[in-house]
Chains A and B, each alone.
Chain A
Amino acid sequence: MSSPTLTATQAPAHGQRRQWVQKYSTLVVLVLMFLGFSLFVDRFMTVFNLTNILQQIAILTIVGTGLTFGFAAREIDLSVGYTVGLAGILVPLLLVGGTPLPLALLAGLAAGLVVGLVNGLLVTRVGIPSLIATLAMGSILFGVNFLATGGRAIYGGLPDSYLFLGQGRLWGIPVLAFFMAASVIVGWFVMERTIFGRYVYAVGGNQKAAELSGVRVTFYRTAALVIVSVFAVVAGTLLAARLGSGQPNVGERYLLDGLATVFIGMTMFRPGTATVLGTFCGALFIGVINNGLNLIGMDTYIQNIVKGVIILIAVAIVSRTTKLKLL
């Protein structure tokens, strides 16, 4: 940077070390975990398993990237899991009913737009805090999902072109991984390299200051919530393709895991701030833990406990020095 540099560069070395610890400790833990599994778990470091991890975290990453926009604007979306579920049954339902694939996909996107817009308007126009508005929206979607399916899975008659999105490979790489890469790149670019991203961060950083700076706060808060839902329906569409069926209750776990990726991501790069790359690392983090513990043959319930403890440790390191302001 070309700037006059005087006082802060002379900060004591331990201050810089602490900053470095803040920024990269989670990343170091991730790398150590990766190395550990590679050394001690036979089947971990194989092309098959690594692509498998990508496939496993792809959908989570897409949900997390969307949530990152919400957190950047300091809005949370607790309905995200049910929005995943909504698309995961709407698109298969339409396909089974004979709707052409492009139309069905568009319908899924439209559903995401509507959910996000309703969330956004409830928050910005009616003035309900997003925590509460989206909690209620989640409950509504949960009901809708079960009503629409009668609680049963939708399968059979799904076109191969659709299933390919979730199960196929191109040059040996899962198609899902391409979707994941696209969502991370687009998300990163929008957040870091556009005026839109600047304004979303400004609104989340200090809403009052953004408003007095002439930022259309209402628009950017709404837009952030719409983006969360749109990423969620993309994830839900791909999830059903991967599973080969539309199931009303598979989206739910993406709420907690999705939030976890964002929280882990907030411990790195710019501590306290949700970033797309941070969230991606958070998803990798969760993917590696799940995969490694699976290969060891650890019981899934114990896996959840281990995952929870690791998340707490990662966040604790950062929280000691930075306030993680979530909402």
Chain B
Amino acid sequence: MRVQLENLVMDFPGSRALDHVSADFGFDEVHGLIGENGAGKSTLVNILGGSLAPTAGTVSIGGKPVTCRTPRDALEQGIAHVSQEGSLVPGLTGAENILLGEEPRRAGVISRRDLMARAQALLTEWFPQVRIALDRPVEDLDIADRKVIEIVRGLRGDIRLLILDEPTATLQSREKAQLWDIIRSLPGRGVGVVLISHFLSEIRALSDRITVLRDGVHVATLPADSATEGALVDLMLRRTGSGAGLGMRRDIPHPGAPVLSVRDWQAGGVQVPDFTLRAGEIVGLIGLTGAGHFGFARSLYTQAGLVGGRMQVGATDVTDRGPRAMQRHGIGFVPDNRMTYALSGEGSIVENLSMVHPECAKILPGGILSRRRETQEGARIFDLLGIRASGQGQQVKTLSGGNKQKVSLGKWLYGAAGRYRAMIFVEPTEGVDIGAKQEIYGHIRKLAAEGAGIIVASSDLLEIEHLAHRVVPFVAGQAGNDIAAAEFSEARFIAAMAGETTQ
């Protein structure tokens, strides 16, 4: 028996996430599903799990077409989806989470004793060798145990196909091995697995067959033992025309003096023993979700969750902490999620631009501002960045993504007159169209050319490839070895993000 997908099409407003994808998943195999971010993996498994209804195409089980409009429909067909983010309810025990929504009742009242017994029975049935204190609240359990609980919950009832989305992304190697054994054991018991993972070694070790998606299109399905990692990477990546129009840069400048350096930096689960940013260079930070590259970039500016470490700006030790101190030292920060962390949507463009340095328009003591000077400085930023709007008074929330991002960057140029020696960018072009992207890259390069040190943390590997002079990969909170510009390739990045040291 198998689940067959035929000619699935999924359209979202403005984009096609799946384009006539056909695939089949057996109940007696582990089936790896790989592709870059945005290749359509999540869309595919969401359709399979009943969370999304396809625009066109059919899903059939054993030759009979089925319609799964909700996750509950899918469960009734024997398909369960364990998503990437923890789906456990904090505050409830492991047993309560396993039987959530199907609690055994006596006279209408949930029976705690029956609940515990049934949850324990389910756990033992599937994983006789695993011991978990199911009577504890799930937040007290370690992360591998929580994953097992999610899987057991997925397996309750008559399940024939289990979808696992990045099940080991957050696990240490010992826990990983334990989960691998569990995944391997499922097909023998009549449960097929669809496995999504960024770790190609994991995919190859666990899967019987592998399906590759790219840009919403089915590229290949092949037996796992016939595919080398290199071949899989080739299949995953866009190989032609990828750099078109992005203004590829390959020349490596002669980096200047250190502008920002940290030693033994420990913040929010990220450890960086030694990192130095030099004047004029653009350093890219990459990693899988949760690997710590974003956290490290943020911590350099906010020092949130800082446990220990020393920071130097230029040759001076920095002991004061937080955004205000960093600004004084000439370090700026353009965060991701701009509407949450950078901009006031209700405010006008000029109000937002002047949020960091309103004092540049001061004409009298007491912080009294000249409207004329504000407008002049605002106009300078408008011209510099090419912000397109009806005027400086336009509300930021009405701007396009690219123009919003320009305002977010413009905050650090308005009234700053080159005082920022280091700029930290997180996802500098998320939700920005290709034209504006190119402009923003231009501004970032210009800042570097003018002598600022630039950090760009991004999940867009193409962006890193085109922008950075060197790359620091992060794996599980640790900074790995530098990748020099000469070695840049998406394959190299992906390998480094998965912690594989291919020299």
- A→B interface (CB under 8 Å): 1-9, 11, 193-196, 198-199, 201-202, 205-206, 208-216, 270, 272-273, 325
B324 within 8 A of A: yes
Q: Among the listed stretches B90-98, B134-142, B380-388, B440-448, which one makes contact with chain A, having 4 or more residues with CB under 8 Å of it?
A: B380-388
**What are 17 A-B pairs at a CB distance below 8 A?**
A5-B389, A7-B388, A8-B394, A9-B390, A193-B368, A194-B368, A195-B358, A199-B358, A202-B344, A202-B355, A206-B340, A206-B342, A206-B347, A212-B341, A213-B355, A214-B324, A215-B355
4 nearest CB pairs, A to B: A205-B344, A195-B367, A8-B390, A1-B391
**Nearest residue in B to A6 (C-beta to C-beta)?**
B388
What are the residues of chain B within 8 A of A7 when measuring CB–CB?
A: 388-389, 400
B459 within 8 A of A: no
What are the residues of chain A within 8 A of B389 when measuring CB–CB?
A: 3, 5, 7-8
What are the residues of chain B within 8 A of A206 when measuring CB–CB?
A: 339-340, 342-345, 347
Residue pair A212, B333 in contact (C-beta under 8 Å): yes
Residue pair B393, A1 in contact (C-beta under 8 Å): yes
Residue pair A1, B379 in contact (C-beta under 8 Å): yes
**Nearest residue in A to B344 (C-beta to C-beta)?**
A205
Known: A5-B389, A8-B388, A213-B342. 11 other contacts (CB 8 A): A3-B378, A4-B388, A5-B390, A195-B358, A195-B359, A195-B367, A202-B344, A209-B344, A209-B355, A212-B341, A273-B347
**Nearest residue in B to A210 (C-beta to C-beta)?**
B355
Which residue of the partner chain, among B347, B390, B391, contacts A11 with CB atoms under 8 Å?
B390
A116 to chain B, nearest CB (A): 20
Q: Per-residue 0/1 for B322-333: is the Cβ within 8 Å of any A Cβ (1 yes, 0 no)?
A: 011011000001
Residue pair B341, A209 in contact (C-beta under 8 Å): yes
Which residue of the partner chain, among B323, B342, B378, B379, contacts A214 with CB atoms under 8 Å?
B323
Residue pair A212, B323 in contact (C-beta under 8 Å): yes
A219 to B323, CA, bound (A): 15
With known contacts A1-B379, A195-B369, A325-B346, A208–B341 Cβ distance under 8 A:
yes
Residue pair B391, A5 in contact (C-beta under 8 Å): yes
**Nearest residue in B to A195 (C-beta to C-beta)?**
B367
A212 to B298, CA, bound (A): 10
Which residue of the partner chain, among A193, A201, A205, A211, contacts B323 with CB atoms under 8 Å?
A211
With known contacts A202-B351, A202-B355, A209-B341, A193–B369 Cβ distance under 8 A:
yes
B291 to chain A, nearest CB (A): 22
A198 to B394, CA, bound (A): 16
What are the residues of chain A within 8 A of B306 when measuring CB–CB?
A: none
What are the residues of chain A within 8 A of B302 when measuring CB–CB?
A: 212
A215 to B368, CA, bound (A): 17
**Nearest residue in B to A3 (C-beta to C-beta)?**
B382
A193 to B354, CA, bound (A): 13
**Nearest residue in A to B362 (C-beta to C-beta)?**
A195
What are the residues of chain A within 8 A of B382 when measuring CB–CB?
A: 3-4
Residue pair B391, A194 in contact (C-beta under 8 Å): no
What are the residues of chain A within 8 A of B400 when measuring CB–CB?
A: 7
B72 within 8 A of A: no
Which residue of the partner chain, among A4, A9, A205, A213, contacts B387 with CB atoms under 8 Å?
A4
**Nearest residue in A to B340 (C-beta to C-beta)?**
A208
B41 within 8 A of A: no
B375 within 8 A of A: yes
Residue pair A194, B390 in contact (C-beta under 8 Å): no
What are the residues of chain B within 8 A of A212 when measuring CB–CB?
A: 301-302, 323, 333, 335, 341-342
With known contacts A205-B344, A205-B346, A212-B341, A198–B358 Cβ distance under 8 A:
yes
A285 to B9, CA, bound (A): 57
A227 to B79, CA, bound (A): 60
Residue pair A3, B379 in contact (C-beta under 8 Å): yes
What are the residues of chain B within 8 A of A272 when measuring CB–CB?
A: 346
B143 within 8 A of A: no
What are the residues of chain A within 8 A of B378 when measuring CB–CB?
A: 3
B346 to chain A, nearest CB (A): 5
A4 to B381, CA, bound (A): 11
What are the residues of chain B within 8 A of A202 when measuring CB–CB?
A: 344, 347, 351, 355
B426 to chain A, nearest CB (A): 11
With known contacts A4-B386, A6-B388, A205-B351, A213–B346 Cβ distance under 8 A:
no
